[in-house]
């Protein structure tokens, strides 16, 4: 049986299929792949007898690392359409870098896997509720200035690092709240995804470098086989999802997918009870 990274073929196919699905859903529904990638990669690592707490950390770190690649194609498309507010990106980026390092180098390295499971479950539960209700926050005020931008970027970067997401679940509602038009908010959020992913991935690598009992082909907390196969396929399928969004009933699909996310949240919570 052919193997890559000394993984069995069925596991390679699982990771490739995960990349196909997460990329397509990201393009179709405008969600980050982490909502799907983290629970499934956790299951795969659990099946390979990786310690339960460690598997959650590695799944979150690996999910974040995939965003480095998927965000580039997304940013290019939004940039060509002229919707990215690069001024906002530049003002939020310093705080994002700082907050990401605080999360990935500090909090993430000390917090236990069970606690991260709860945080992630709350995150996807919140995301599912937002998708189900399809509510957008009403714009109420202008974008903060000075230290407010650094603080906003710091919160986005830090929380994103704890759940393995690109930050859109925070940055898009935040920008809408600050009177940034929806199209610009989504495009600008995609541009912020790259510094969030790059900084957090560097932090995961450093903080997890000497962690005992890491599986083969680990780069700190990042599991390289999953990064390779998921990224390779998600980059291909994301544009197809975006095209399908023009033809399919996205609002109904979002509600259906929200139910799936609730199940993923329950799975992450159940890990805690299985380990007690």
- For residue 108, how far is the Cα from the chain centroid? 15
pLDDT of residue 2: 43
Take residue 147 and report the two structure tokens written for it: 């230290």
Is a pLDDT exceeding 80 seen at residue 241? Answer: no
Buried b / exposed e across 118-133, counting CB within 10 Å, b at 16+? ebbbebbbebbebbbe
How many alpha carbons fall within 13 Å on the CB side of residue 90?
A: 3
Q: How far apart are CA 225 and CA 15, in angstroms?
A: 8
Computed over every residue of the chain, the mean pLDDT equals 83
Q: Are 38 and 270 in contact (CB under 8 A)?
A: no
Nearest CA-CA partner of 144 in 102, 88, 69, 60: 88
Query: Domain residues of the chain, as ranges?
Result: 9-274
**pLDDT higher for 137 or 61?**
61
Residue 176 to residues 135, 230, 262, Cα–Cα distance (Å): 12, 31, 25
Q: Are 241 and 24 in contact (CB under 8 A)?
A: yes
Is a pLDDT exceeding 60 seen at residue 229? Answer: yes
pLDDT in tens, 98-150: 999 998 888 888 888 888 888 888 888 887 887 777 766 666 667 777 788 88
* Rg from Cα positions in the chain: 18
pLDDT of residue 97: 92
4: which strand partners? Answer: 7
Q: How far apart are CA 95 and CA 160, in angstroms?
A: 13
pLDDT of residue 250: 65
pLDDT of residue 4: 61
Confidence of residue 74 (pLDDT cuts 50, 70, 90): confident
Take residue 188 and report the two structure tokens written for it: 């600008």
The angle, 0 to 180 degrees and rounded to 10, between the axes of the packed helices 182-207 and 147-163 is 60
Q: Are 75 and 205 in contact (CB under 8 A)?
A: no
Residue 229 to residues 5, 37, 68, 187, Cα–Cα distance (Å): 11, 12, 14, 26
In angstroms, the first-to-last Cα distance of the chain is: 38
pLDDT of residue 55: 92
Nearest CA-CA partner of 36 in 136, 113, 156, 123: 123
Q: Are 166 and 34 in contact (CB under 8 A)?
A: yes
* Residues constituting the chain: 276
């Amino acid at each position: 049986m052919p193997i890559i990274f000394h993984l069995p073929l069925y596991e390679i196919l699982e990771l490739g299929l995960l990349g196909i699905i997460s990329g397509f859903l990201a393009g179709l529904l405008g969600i980050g792949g982490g909502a799907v990638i983290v629970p499934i990669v956790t299951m795969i690592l659990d099946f390979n007898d990786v310690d339960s707490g460690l598997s959650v950390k590695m799944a979150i770190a690996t999910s974040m690392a995939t965003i480095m690649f998927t965000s580039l194609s997304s940013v290019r498309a939004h940039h060509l359409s002229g919707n990215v507010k690069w001024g906002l990106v530049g003002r939020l980026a310093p705080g994002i870098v700082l907050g990401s390092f605080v999360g990935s180098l500090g909090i993430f390295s000390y917090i236990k896997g069970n606690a991260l499971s709860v945080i992630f479950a709350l995150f996807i539960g919140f995301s599912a509720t937002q998708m189900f209700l399809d509510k957008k926050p009403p714009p109420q005020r202008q974008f903060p200035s000075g230290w407010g931008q650094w603080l906003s970027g710091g919160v986005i970067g830090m929380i994103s690092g704890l759940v393995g997401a690109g930050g859109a679940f925070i940055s898009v509602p935040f920008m809408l709240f600050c009177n940034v038009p929806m199209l610009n908010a989504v495009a600008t959020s995609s541009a912020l995804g790259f510094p969030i992913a790059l900084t957090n991935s560097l932090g995961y690598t450093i903080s997890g470098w000497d962690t005992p009992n890491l599986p083969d082909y680990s780069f700190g907390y990042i599991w390289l086989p999953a990064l390779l196969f998921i990224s390779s396929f998600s980059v291909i399928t994301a544009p197809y999802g975006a095209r399908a969004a023009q033809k399919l009933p996205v609002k109904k699909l979002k509600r259906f997918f929200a139910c799936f996310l609730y199940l993923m949240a329950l799975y992450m919570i159940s890990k805690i009870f299985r380990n007690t």
